[in-house]
Structure 1
Amino acid sequence: MSELLAIVSQDADYYLMLSYILKGAGYRTMLVDIPSEAVATAVERDAAAIIVDCQPGSQILADIASGLKERGLASDVTLIALVAEKAAYLDILKANVDESFTRPMPPERLLSYLHGAIGSSSDGTHSRLGPIFDDMKLDLSGRRVLVRGMPVNLSPIEFRLLSALMGDAGRVLSRAELIAVAWPQTAFVEPRTVDVHIGRLRRALRRALGRDVIRTVPKEGYAIDIAQSM
Protein backbone atom coordinates (compact mmCIF):
# COMPACT_ATOMS: atom_id res chain seq x y z
CA MET A 1 0.00 0.00 0.00
CA SER A 2 1.26 3.49 -0.84
CA GLU A 3 2.27 5.95 1.86
CA LEU A 4 -0.44 8.11 3.44
CA LEU A 5 0.10 11.86 3.73
CA ALA A 6 -1.99 13.92 6.15
CA ILE A 7 -2.59 17.43 4.80
CA VAL A 8 -3.55 20.00 7.43
CA SER A 9 -5.43 22.85 5.78
CA GLN A 10 -8.64 24.81 6.11
CA ASP A 11 -8.58 25.64 2.41
CA ALA A 12 -10.49 22.85 0.68
CA ASP A 13 -9.58 24.05 -2.81
CA TYR A 14 -5.89 24.06 -1.99
CA TYR A 15 -6.16 20.58 -0.52
CA LEU A 16 -7.88 19.24 -3.64
CA MET A 17 -5.19 20.69 -5.88
CA LEU A 18 -2.35 19.36 -3.72
CA SER A 19 -4.06 15.99 -3.33
CA TYR A 20 -4.39 15.65 -7.10
CA ILE A 21 -0.64 16.21 -7.54
CA LEU A 22 0.33 13.80 -4.74
CA LYS A 23 -2.03 11.05 -5.86
CA GLY A 24 -0.58 11.30 -9.34
CA ALA A 25 2.82 10.55 -7.80
CA GLY A 26 1.48 7.43 -6.08
CA TYR A 27 0.66 8.71 -2.60
CA ARG A 28 -2.59 8.52 -0.65
CA THR A 29 -3.84 11.70 1.00
CA MET A 30 -6.27 12.70 3.72
CA LEU A 31 -7.51 16.13 4.74
CA VAL A 32 -7.26 17.23 8.36
CA ASP A 33 -9.30 20.42 8.64
CA ILE A 34 -9.25 20.53 12.45
CA PRO A 35 -5.59 21.29 13.26
CA SER A 36 -5.86 20.21 16.90
CA GLU A 37 -6.66 16.69 15.69
CA ALA A 38 -3.75 16.46 13.25
CA VAL A 39 -1.36 14.41 15.38
CA ALA A 40 -4.01 12.02 16.71
CA THR A 41 -5.40 11.48 13.22
CA ALA A 42 -1.97 10.91 11.71
CA VAL A 43 -1.12 8.37 14.39
CA GLU A 44 -4.45 6.57 14.07
CA ARG A 45 -4.17 6.31 10.29
CA ASP A 46 -0.41 5.60 10.32
CA ALA A 47 0.46 8.59 8.15
CA ALA A 48 4.07 8.79 6.99
CA ALA A 49 4.06 12.58 6.86
CA ILE A 50 2.07 15.60 7.96
CA ILE A 51 1.99 18.48 5.48
CA VAL A 52 0.88 21.74 7.08
CA ASP A 53 -0.61 24.66 5.16
CA CYS A 54 0.90 27.51 7.23
CA GLN A 55 -0.90 30.85 7.18
CA PRO A 56 0.43 34.14 8.66
CA GLY A 57 -0.11 34.37 12.41
CA SER A 58 -1.11 30.72 12.79
CA GLN A 59 0.17 28.55 15.65
CA ILE A 60 -0.81 25.33 13.90
CA LEU A 61 2.70 24.25 13.00
CA ALA A 62 4.15 24.79 16.47
CA ASP A 63 1.27 22.88 18.06
CA ILE A 64 1.68 19.93 15.71
CA ALA A 65 5.46 19.84 16.21
CA SER A 66 4.95 19.85 19.99
CA GLY A 67 2.34 17.12 19.72
CA LEU A 68 4.68 14.86 17.76
CA LYS A 69 7.49 15.48 20.23
CA GLU A 70 5.28 14.71 23.22
CA ARG A 71 4.28 11.38 21.68
CA GLY A 72 7.88 10.53 20.80
CA LEU A 73 7.05 10.58 17.08
CA ALA A 74 9.18 13.48 15.90
CA SER A 75 11.61 11.11 14.17
CA ASP A 76 8.92 8.77 12.82
CA VAL A 77 6.50 11.19 11.14
CA THR A 78 7.94 13.63 8.60
CA LEU A 79 6.70 17.18 9.23
CA ILE A 80 6.56 19.49 6.22
CA ALA A 81 5.55 23.16 6.23
CA LEU A 82 4.03 24.85 3.19
CA VAL A 83 4.66 28.46 4.12
CA ALA A 84 2.53 31.39 2.96
CA GLU A 85 4.68 34.22 1.66
CA LYS A 86 4.08 36.51 4.65
CA ALA A 87 4.32 33.85 7.36
CA ALA A 88 6.97 34.42 10.03
CA TYR A 89 9.90 32.28 8.93
CA LEU A 90 11.44 32.40 12.41
CA ASP A 91 8.40 30.54 13.73
CA ILE A 92 8.97 27.87 11.10
CA LEU A 93 12.56 27.40 12.24
CA LYS A 94 11.54 27.20 15.89
CA ALA A 95 9.08 24.43 15.10
CA ASN A 96 12.01 22.25 13.98
CA VAL A 97 10.22 20.93 10.90
CA ASP A 98 11.89 18.40 8.63
CA GLU A 99 11.44 20.62 5.58
CA SER A 100 9.66 23.80 4.53
CA PHE A 101 8.59 25.22 1.16
CA THR A 102 7.46 28.77 0.43
CA ARG A 103 4.24 29.05 -1.58
CA PRO A 104 3.85 29.22 -4.50
CA MET A 105 6.25 26.35 -5.15
CA PRO A 106 7.03 24.06 -8.09
CA PRO A 107 5.33 20.72 -7.24
CA GLU A 108 8.42 18.78 -8.29
CA ARG A 109 10.33 20.24 -5.33
CA LEU A 110 7.87 18.74 -2.87
CA LEU A 111 7.70 15.44 -4.76
CA SER A 112 11.48 15.17 -4.92
CA TYR A 113 11.74 15.73 -1.17
CA LEU A 114 8.98 13.20 -0.39
CA HIS A 115 10.63 10.61 -2.59
CA GLY A 116 13.89 10.99 -0.69
CA ALA A 117 12.31 11.18 2.77
CA ILE A 118 9.62 8.49 2.69
CA GLY A 119 9.74 6.87 -0.76
CA SER A 120 7.05 6.71 -3.37
CA SER A 121 6.54 3.04 -4.18
CA SER A 122 3.12 1.49 -3.63
CA ASP A 123 4.87 -1.58 -2.30
CA GLY A 124 5.23 -1.46 1.46
CA THR A 125 8.76 -2.84 1.48
CA HIS A 126 10.19 -0.70 -1.26
CA SER A 127 8.66 2.45 0.20
CA ARG A 128 11.01 2.14 3.14
CA LEU A 129 14.07 1.16 1.13
CA GLY A 130 15.36 3.45 -1.55
CA PRO A 131 17.55 2.54 -4.52
CA ILE A 132 19.91 -0.38 -3.93
CA PHE A 133 23.29 -0.25 -5.66
CA ASP A 134 26.04 -2.78 -5.21
CA ASP A 135 26.66 -2.97 -1.44
CA MET A 136 24.89 0.30 -0.65
CA LYS A 137 21.21 1.07 -0.05
CA LEU A 138 19.13 3.90 1.37
CA ASP A 139 17.02 3.28 4.45
CA LEU A 140 14.37 5.95 3.86
CA SER A 141 12.44 5.42 7.08
CA GLY A 142 15.62 5.72 9.14
CA ARG A 143 17.04 8.41 6.84
CA ARG A 144 20.41 6.72 6.64
CA VAL A 145 22.59 4.92 4.13
CA LEU A 146 23.71 1.35 4.75
CA VAL A 147 26.89 -0.15 3.32
CA ARG A 148 26.92 -3.93 3.68
CA GLY A 149 24.30 -3.53 6.37
CA MET A 150 26.30 -1.02 8.41
CA PRO A 151 25.11 2.60 8.73
CA VAL A 152 27.25 5.44 7.39
CA ASN A 153 27.15 8.66 9.39
CA LEU A 154 25.76 11.44 7.15
CA SER A 155 24.24 14.84 7.87
CA PRO A 156 20.64 15.44 6.72
CA ILE A 157 21.90 17.53 3.80
CA GLU A 158 24.38 14.86 2.75
CA PHE A 159 21.65 12.21 2.94
CA ARG A 160 19.38 14.28 0.69
CA LEU A 161 22.23 14.83 -1.77
CA LEU A 162 22.95 11.10 -1.90
CA SER A 163 19.25 10.31 -2.26
CA ALA A 164 19.03 12.64 -5.27
CA LEU A 165 22.15 11.16 -6.88
CA MET A 166 21.08 7.55 -6.31
CA GLY A 167 17.56 8.28 -7.45
CA ASP A 168 18.90 9.32 -10.85
CA ALA A 169 22.06 7.22 -11.02
CA GLY A 170 24.39 7.95 -13.89
CA ARG A 171 22.83 11.30 -14.78
CA VAL A 172 24.81 14.43 -14.02
CA LEU A 173 22.91 16.65 -11.58
CA SER A 174 23.81 20.33 -11.63
CA ARG A 175 24.57 22.23 -8.48
CA ALA A 176 21.29 24.11 -8.89
CA GLU A 177 19.36 20.82 -9.00
CA LEU A 178 21.14 19.56 -5.89
CA ILE A 179 20.46 22.81 -4.03
CA ALA A 180 16.77 22.49 -4.91
CA VAL A 181 16.44 19.05 -3.30
CA ALA A 182 18.84 19.37 -0.36
CA TRP A 183 18.18 22.84 1.08
CA PRO A 184 14.99 24.76 2.01
CA GLN A 185 13.65 26.89 -0.82
CA THR A 186 14.20 30.11 1.12
CA ALA A 187 17.86 29.36 1.89
CA PHE A 188 20.54 31.15 -0.11
CA VAL A 189 23.16 28.54 -1.00
CA GLU A 190 26.26 29.21 -3.04
CA PRO A 191 27.50 26.57 -5.49
CA ARG A 192 30.68 26.28 -3.46
CA THR A 193 28.61 25.09 -0.49
CA VAL A 194 27.40 22.16 -2.60
CA ASP A 195 31.01 21.27 -3.39
CA VAL A 196 31.87 21.24 0.32
CA HIS A 197 29.00 18.89 1.21
CA ILE A 198 29.67 16.64 -1.79
CA GLY A 199 33.29 16.44 -0.66
CA ARG A 200 32.22 15.28 2.80
CA LEU A 201 29.77 12.81 1.31
CA ARG A 202 32.42 11.46 -1.06
CA ARG A 203 34.90 10.91 1.77
CA ALA A 204 32.31 9.16 3.95
CA LEU A 205 31.35 6.78 1.14
CA ARG A 206 34.98 6.16 0.21
CA ARG A 207 35.75 5.10 3.80
CA ALA A 208 32.78 2.73 3.82
CA LEU A 209 33.07 1.30 0.30
CA GLY A 210 36.81 1.51 -0.25
CA ARG A 211 36.41 3.39 -3.53
CA ASP A 212 35.00 6.58 -5.03
CA VAL A 213 31.47 6.43 -6.40
CA ILE A 214 30.72 10.12 -6.94
CA ARG A 215 31.96 11.56 -10.22
CA THR A 216 32.67 15.26 -10.73
CA VAL A 217 31.83 16.62 -14.17
CA PRO A 218 33.66 19.97 -14.56
CA LYS A 219 31.35 22.96 -15.12
CA GLU A 220 28.28 20.70 -14.95
CA GLY A 221 27.84 18.97 -11.59
CA TYR A 222 27.98 15.51 -10.06
CA ALA A 223 26.84 11.97 -10.80
CA ILE A 224 26.96 8.67 -8.94
CA ASP A 225 28.35 5.68 -10.80
CA ILE A 226 27.52 2.41 -9.08
CA ALA A 227 26.69 -0.92 -10.69
CA GLN A 228 23.10 -1.64 -9.74
CA SER A 229 22.40 -4.97 -8.08
CA MET A 230 19.91 -7.26 -9.74
Structure 2
Amino acid sequence: MSGLLAIVSRDADYYLMLEHILKEAGYKTILIDVPGEAVPTVEERDAAAIIVDCQPGSQILSDIAFSLRERGLASEVTLIALVAEKTAFLDILKANVDESFIRPLRPERLLSYLHNTIGNSSGNTPSRPLSVFDDMKLDAEGRRVLVRGAPINLSPIEFRLLSALMGDAGRVLSRVELIGIAWPQGAFVEPRTVDVHIGRLRRALKRALGRDVIRTVPKVGYAMDIA
Protein backbone atom coordinates (compact mmCIF):
# COMPACT_ATOMS: atom_id res chain seq x y z
CA MET A 1 0.00 0.00 0.00
CA SER A 2 1.07 3.54 -0.78
CA GLY A 3 0.73 6.55 1.50
CA LEU A 4 -2.25 7.82 -0.50
CA LEU A 5 -5.33 8.69 1.54
CA ALA A 6 -8.81 8.84 -0.01
CA ILE A 7 -11.12 11.42 1.58
CA VAL A 8 -14.83 10.85 0.99
CA SER A 9 -16.71 14.10 1.48
CA ARG A 10 -19.23 16.30 -0.29
CA ASP A 11 -17.91 19.34 1.55
CA ALA A 12 -15.13 20.82 -0.58
CA ASP A 13 -14.06 23.27 2.13
CA TYR A 14 -13.69 20.48 4.68
CA TYR A 15 -11.66 18.43 2.20
CA LEU A 16 -9.32 21.35 1.50
CA MET A 17 -8.72 21.80 5.22
CA LEU A 18 -7.93 18.09 5.65
CA GLU A 19 -5.76 18.10 2.54
CA HIS A 20 -3.65 20.93 3.94
CA ILE A 21 -3.20 19.23 7.33
CA LEU A 22 -2.30 15.88 5.78
CA LYS A 23 -0.04 17.40 3.11
CA GLU A 24 1.96 19.20 5.79
CA ALA A 25 2.46 15.80 7.45
CA GLY A 26 3.72 14.30 4.19
CA TYR A 27 0.63 12.41 2.98
CA LYS A 28 -0.94 12.55 -0.44
CA THR A 29 -4.72 12.80 -0.67
CA ILE A 30 -7.46 12.40 -3.22
CA LEU A 31 -11.01 13.75 -2.92
CA ILE A 32 -13.88 11.40 -3.70
CA ASP A 33 -17.20 13.22 -3.80
CA VAL A 34 -19.17 10.32 -5.33
CA PRO A 35 -19.23 7.69 -2.53
CA GLY A 36 -19.89 4.82 -4.92
CA GLU A 37 -16.50 5.47 -6.54
CA ALA A 38 -14.57 5.29 -3.26
CA VAL A 39 -13.63 1.60 -3.12
CA PRO A 40 -12.97 1.15 -6.88
CA THR A 41 -10.72 4.23 -6.79
CA VAL A 42 -8.89 3.04 -3.69
CA GLU A 43 -8.32 -0.37 -5.29
CA GLU A 44 -7.10 1.17 -8.54
CA ARG A 45 -4.82 3.73 -6.87
CA ASP A 46 -3.60 1.34 -4.15
CA ALA A 47 -4.57 3.78 -1.40
CA ALA A 48 -3.76 2.96 2.22
CA ALA A 49 -6.84 4.39 3.88
CA ILE A 50 -10.31 5.83 3.35
CA ILE A 51 -11.33 8.77 5.52
CA VAL A 52 -15.11 9.26 5.50
CA ASP A 53 -16.81 12.52 6.42
CA CYS A 54 -19.83 11.05 8.28
CA GLN A 55 -22.99 13.14 8.42
CA PRO A 56 -26.22 12.35 10.34
CA GLY A 57 -28.53 9.98 8.48
CA SER A 58 -25.99 9.11 5.79
CA GLN A 59 -25.48 5.51 4.61
CA ILE A 60 -22.14 6.32 2.98
CA LEU A 61 -19.99 4.71 5.67
CA SER A 62 -21.90 1.43 5.80
CA ASP A 63 -21.94 1.22 1.98
CA ILE A 64 -18.17 1.71 1.79
CA ALA A 65 -17.55 -0.82 4.58
CA PHE A 66 -19.73 -3.38 2.79
CA SER A 67 -17.93 -2.79 -0.51
CA LEU A 68 -14.52 -3.25 1.15
CA ARG A 69 -15.63 -6.58 2.61
CA GLU A 70 -17.17 -7.68 -0.68
CA ARG A 71 -13.91 -7.03 -2.53
CA GLY A 72 -11.79 -8.66 0.17
CA LEU A 73 -10.09 -5.37 1.07
CA ALA A 74 -11.37 -4.92 4.63
CA SER A 75 -8.12 -6.07 6.22
CA GLU A 76 -5.92 -4.15 3.76
CA VAL A 77 -7.50 -0.68 3.62
CA THR A 78 -7.85 1.29 6.85
CA LEU A 79 -11.35 2.76 7.23
CA ILE A 80 -11.58 5.92 9.33
CA ALA A 81 -14.78 7.78 10.25
CA LEU A 82 -14.80 11.50 11.04
CA VAL A 83 -18.10 11.70 12.88
CA ALA A 84 -20.19 14.86 12.82
CA GLU A 85 -22.37 15.88 15.76
CA LYS A 86 -25.69 13.99 16.05
CA THR A 87 -24.51 11.11 13.90
CA ALA A 88 -25.83 7.80 15.28
CA PHE A 89 -22.82 6.07 16.84
CA LEU A 90 -24.53 2.70 16.43
CA ASP A 91 -24.15 3.12 12.66
CA ILE A 92 -20.40 3.62 13.15
CA LEU A 93 -20.15 0.43 15.21
CA LYS A 94 -22.14 -1.60 12.68
CA ALA A 95 -19.74 -0.52 9.92
CA ASN A 96 -16.78 -2.06 11.82
CA VAL A 97 -14.55 0.92 11.10
CA ASP A 98 -10.90 0.75 12.10
CA GLU A 99 -11.11 4.04 13.99
CA SER A 100 -13.54 6.90 14.51
CA PHE A 101 -12.98 10.50 15.59
CA ILE A 102 -15.66 12.87 16.83
CA ARG A 103 -15.59 16.25 15.12
CA PRO A 104 -14.19 18.73 15.81
CA LEU A 105 -10.98 16.80 16.36
CA ARG A 106 -7.42 17.74 17.14
CA PRO A 107 -5.35 17.18 13.96
CA GLU A 108 -2.51 15.58 15.94
CA ARG A 109 -4.82 12.75 17.03
CA LEU A 110 -5.60 11.84 13.43
CA LEU A 111 -1.97 12.21 12.35
CA SER A 112 -0.72 10.07 15.23
CA TYR A 113 -3.20 7.35 14.33
CA LEU A 114 -2.24 7.44 10.64
CA HIS A 115 1.47 7.29 11.45
CA ASN A 116 1.01 4.30 13.73
CA THR A 117 -1.39 2.52 11.37
CA ILE A 118 -0.14 3.01 7.81
CA GLY A 119 3.46 3.80 8.58
CA ASN A 120 5.92 6.54 7.86
CA SER A 121 4.42 9.44 5.88
CA SER A 122 7.83 10.69 4.77
CA GLY A 123 8.17 8.01 2.13
CA ASN A 124 10.63 5.84 4.06
CA THR A 125 9.63 2.20 4.25
CA PRO A 126 10.69 0.63 7.52
CA SER A 127 10.53 -3.12 7.87
CA ARG A 128 7.05 -4.38 8.59
CA PRO A 129 6.33 -5.77 12.07
CA LEU A 130 5.30 -9.43 11.76
CA SER A 131 3.71 -11.65 14.38
CA VAL A 132 4.20 -15.37 13.77
CA PHE A 133 2.21 -18.20 15.34
CA ASP A 134 2.25 -21.77 14.05
CA ASP A 135 1.83 -21.50 10.22
CA MET A 136 0.22 -18.07 10.54
CA LYS A 137 1.78 -14.66 9.98
CA LEU A 138 0.14 -11.35 10.87
CA ASP A 139 1.42 -8.27 9.05
CA ALA A 140 0.24 -5.39 11.25
CA GLU A 141 1.28 -2.61 8.89
CA GLY A 142 -0.05 -4.33 5.79
CA ARG A 143 -3.16 -5.44 7.71
CA ARG A 144 -2.92 -8.99 6.36
CA VAL A 145 -3.10 -12.44 7.88
CA LEU A 146 -1.46 -15.28 5.96
CA VAL A 147 -1.61 -19.02 6.61
CA ARG A 148 1.06 -20.85 4.64
CA GLY A 149 1.10 -17.88 2.26
CA ALA A 150 -2.67 -17.78 1.67
CA PRO A 151 -4.59 -14.72 2.94
CA ILE A 152 -7.45 -14.97 5.43
CA ASN A 153 -10.25 -12.45 5.07
CA LEU A 154 -11.05 -10.94 8.48
CA SER A 155 -13.12 -7.95 9.52
CA PRO A 156 -11.24 -5.04 11.14
CA ILE A 157 -12.44 -6.05 14.60
CA GLU A 158 -11.45 -9.68 14.07
CA PHE A 159 -8.05 -8.54 12.80
CA ARG A 160 -7.46 -6.45 15.94
CA LEU A 161 -8.61 -9.30 18.19
CA LEU A 162 -6.19 -11.68 16.49
CA SER A 163 -3.38 -9.16 16.69
CA ALA A 164 -3.92 -8.80 20.45
CA LEU A 165 -4.06 -12.56 21.03
CA MET A 166 -0.99 -13.26 18.88
CA GLY A 167 0.95 -10.41 20.41
CA ASP A 168 0.59 -11.96 23.86
CA ALA A 169 0.27 -15.65 22.96
CA GLY A 170 -0.52 -17.89 25.91
CA ARG A 171 -1.80 -15.11 28.18
CA VAL A 172 -5.51 -14.95 28.84
CA LEU A 173 -7.01 -11.63 27.75
CA SER A 174 -10.26 -10.65 29.41
CA ARG A 175 -13.27 -9.47 27.44
CA VAL A 176 -12.79 -5.99 28.90
CA GLU A 177 -9.19 -5.91 27.61
CA LEU A 178 -10.28 -7.10 24.17
CA ILE A 179 -13.05 -4.50 23.99
CA GLY A 180 -10.51 -1.77 24.76
CA ILE A 181 -8.23 -3.04 21.99
CA ALA A 182 -10.65 -3.94 19.20
CA TRP A 183 -13.45 -1.37 19.43
CA PRO A 184 -13.43 2.45 19.14
CA GLN A 185 -12.71 4.32 22.34
CA GLY A 186 -15.84 5.03 24.36
CA ALA A 187 -18.00 2.51 22.51
CA PHE A 188 -20.47 0.50 24.58
CA VAL A 189 -19.86 -3.18 23.82
CA GLU A 190 -21.46 -6.07 25.68
CA PRO A 191 -19.28 -9.07 26.59
CA ARG A 192 -21.51 -11.27 24.42
CA THR A 193 -20.47 -9.21 21.40
CA VAL A 194 -16.85 -10.20 22.06
CA ASP A 195 -17.88 -13.85 22.14
CA VAL A 196 -19.61 -13.51 18.76
CA HIS A 197 -16.55 -11.98 17.08
CA ILE A 198 -14.18 -14.47 18.71
CA GLY A 199 -16.43 -17.25 17.41
CA ARG A 200 -16.17 -15.92 13.85
CA LEU A 201 -12.41 -15.51 14.19
CA ARG A 202 -12.05 -19.01 15.62
CA ARG A 203 -13.97 -20.57 12.72
CA ALA A 204 -11.94 -18.67 10.11
CA LEU A 205 -8.65 -19.77 11.67
CA LYS A 206 -9.78 -23.36 12.10
CA ARG A 207 -10.71 -23.58 8.41
CA ALA A 208 -7.26 -22.30 7.44
CA LEU A 209 -5.10 -24.10 10.01
CA GLY A 210 -7.10 -27.29 10.45
CA ARG A 211 -7.25 -26.92 14.23
CA ASP A 212 -8.61 -24.61 16.89
CA VAL A 213 -5.90 -22.25 18.17
CA ILE A 214 -8.03 -20.03 20.43
CA ARG A 215 -8.55 -21.26 23.97
CA THR A 216 -11.61 -20.20 25.97
CA VAL A 217 -11.19 -19.71 29.70
CA PRO A 218 -14.71 -19.72 31.18
CA LYS A 219 -15.70 -16.50 32.98
CA VAL A 220 -12.29 -14.99 32.20
CA GLY A 221 -11.51 -14.55 28.50
CA TYR A 222 -9.48 -15.95 25.62
CA ALA A 223 -5.90 -16.86 24.73
CA MET A 224 -3.89 -18.25 21.85
CA ASP A 225 -3.36 -21.93 22.62
CA ILE A 226 0.41 -22.45 22.60
CA ALA A 227 0.21 -26.09 23.77
What is the CA distance between 1:121 and its match in structure 2? 3.5
1:95 maps to: 95
Q: Aligned equivalents of 1:17 and 1:44: distance in 2?
A: 25
Q: Aligned equivalents of 1:75 and 1:69: distance in 2?
A: 8
Deviations 1:180-219 (A, max 9, x none): x99735448xxxxxxxxxxxxxxx9xx9xxxxxxxxxxxx
- Give the secondary structure class of the aligned counterpart of 1:129: coil
Amino acid at match of 1:68: L
What is the CA distance between 1:41 and its match in structure 2? 0.8
TM-score w.r.t. the length of structure 2 is: 0.60
Residues 139 and 96 of structure 1, relative CA distance in 2, 3 Å threshold: closer
What is the CA distance between 1:143 and its match in structure 2? 7.2
1:10 maps to: 10
Are residue 129 (structure 1) and residue 147 (structure 2) matched?
no
| Gap runs ≥5 in structure 1 | 131-137, 145-152, 160-180, 189-203, 208-230
Q: Aligned equivalents of 2:115 and 2:163: distance in 1?
A: 15
- Give the secondary structure class of the aligned counterpart of 1:79: strand
Amino acid at match of 1:6: A
1:52 maps to: 52
Q: Aligned equivalents of 1:154 and 1:79: distance in 2?
A: 13
1:61 maps to: 61
What is the CA distance between 1:157 and its match in structure 2? 8.5
Deviations 1:73-102 (A, max 9, x none): 000100000011110100110011111111
Q: CA RMSD in A?
A: 3.3
Deviations 1:25-82 (A, max 9, x none): 1110000000111101111111100000000000000000010011000001000000
Q: Aligned equivalents of 1:84 and 1:90: distance in 2?
A: 13
| Gap runs ≥5 in structure 2 | 130-138, 146-158, 166-180, 189-222
Q: Aligned equivalents of 1:31 and 1:70: distance in 2?
A: 22
Mapped contact 1:68–1:74 kept (Cα < 8 A): yes
- Give the secondary structure class of the aligned counterpart of 2:26: coil
1:214 maps to: none
Mapped contact 1:25–1:120 kept (Cα < 8 A): no
- Give the secondary structure class of the aligned counterpart of 2:64: helix
2:24 maps to: 24
Amino acid at match of 1:41: T
Are residue 34 (structure 1) and residue 56 (structure 2) matched?
no
What is the CA distance between 1:2 and its match in structure 2? 5.9
Q: Aligned equivalents of 1:66 and 1:155: distance in 2?
A: 20
Mapped contact 1:157–1:182 kept (Cα < 8 A): no
Q: How does 1:143-154 map to 2 (within 5 A)?
A: none
- Aligned residues between the structures: 158
Deviations 1:11-30 (A, max 9, x none): 00000111111111111000
TM-score w.r.t. the length of structure 1 is: 0.59
Amino acid at match of 2:92: I
Q: Aligned equivalents of 2:112 and 2:183: distance in 1?
A: 12
Q: How does 1:1-230 map to 2 (within 5 A)?
A: 3-123=3-123, 125-126=125-126, 129=128, 139-142=140-143, 155=161, 184-187=184-187
Amino acid at match of 1:46: D
Residues 183 and 113 of structure 1, relative CA distance in 2, 3 Å threshold: farther
Mapped contact 1:2–1:121 kept (Cα < 8 A): no
